[in-house]
Amino acid sequence: MSMPIAVAAGPGPARLRAVESAAPVDASVDENWDLVRAAQSGDTAAFGKLYDRYVDWVYRYVLLRVGDRHLAEDVTSETFLRALRRITSISYQGRDVGAWFTTIARNLVLDHVKSSRFRLEIVTDEVTESGTQPFGSSAQHSPGPEQQVISKTTNDELLRCIAGLGDDQRECIILRFIQGFSVSETAQIMQRNEGAVKALQHRAVRRLAKLLPTGLR
């Protein structure tokens, strides 16, 4: 059974925005949880709205983890099917529901990694778009030294360098700077404490700085 995903539609490959806020910008955290509660009461239209708001966001995360468009589409579809089956099990946890969708997607990716061997290949035309903000940039927050490392290079080159990181470091960078999750949300998704995530992030950014071409450091 599969669920159609919006990013696969159209005559050519979809392009996703490189950086946005941790949640879709057109919906507040409270509004998203209102939709969750409605879906828990049997409102299928409410779940459809959640799907529309998060499908591209989840797809981008999965694509960056697996590097294959078709596999990313399948995993994204399965993510929402599992979410639909488990919608009654989730309760408000003080953060956006996107962390829950991402956790489901992450578990599916880990299952795939355990069951098969694949080589990560970053598909840059799917996860970048001309005119979007650089990774790690934000109109609301001044970038710290680690974010400056992320934001000072081009999207394509950064994606190639991210592919050269170890699994944990790569996931930390994707969650923190591409998906825009907070340290606490990243810790929840990765099932680590916040101190471990901060240390992992620091090592990953230092490693990225070494992988970047000299002219972009």
Domain count, the chain: 2
User: Is residue 52 within a helix (H) or strand (E), and if so which, with residue range?
Assistant: helix 44-66
Domain shared by 110 and 23, yes or no: yes
Domain shared by 63 and 96, yes or no: yes
**What's the pLDDT at 4?**
42
DSSP 148: H
For residue 71, give both structure tokens: 């596999």
Domain shared by 91 and 142, yes or no: no
pLDDT band at 146 (very low <50, low <70, confident <90, very high): low
Domain shared by 65 and 31, yes or no: yes
User: What average pLDDT score do residues 187-215 get?
Assistant: 86
Residue 84 within any structural domain of the chain = yes
37-50 pLDDT, tens digit per residue, is 999 999 999 999 99
- Which of 115, 145, 175 is where one domain is finished? 115
**Which has more pLDDT, 119 or 198?**
198
Residue 9 within any structural domain of the chain = no
Residue 7 within any structural domain of the chain = no
Residue 207 within any structural domain of the chain = yes
Residue 106 within any structural domain of the chain = yes
Least confident of 39-43, 114-118, 174-178, 192-196: 114-118
- Which of 115, 149, 172 is where one domain is finished? 115
pLDDT band at 86 (very low <50, low <70, confident <90, very high): very high
By the 10 Å C-beta count (0-12 exposed, 13-18 middle, 19+ buried), 163 is classed as middle
CATH number for the domain spanning 150: value is 1.10.10.10
pLDDT band at 131 (very low <50, low <70, confident <90, very high): very low
DSSP string across 86-113: TGGG----SS-THHHHHHHHHHHHHHHH
131: left (phi over 0), alpha (psi -120 to 50) or beta: left
Q: Determine the structural domain holding residue 85 and report its residue range.
A: 14-115
pLDDT band at 193 (very low <50, low <70, confident <90, very high): very high
- Which of 115, 147, 169 is where one domain is finished? 115
Share of the chain above pLDDT 90, in %: 37
CA distance 23 to 44: 21
Least confident of 25-39, 99-113, 149-163: 149-163
Mean of per-residue pLDDT scores for the chain: 74
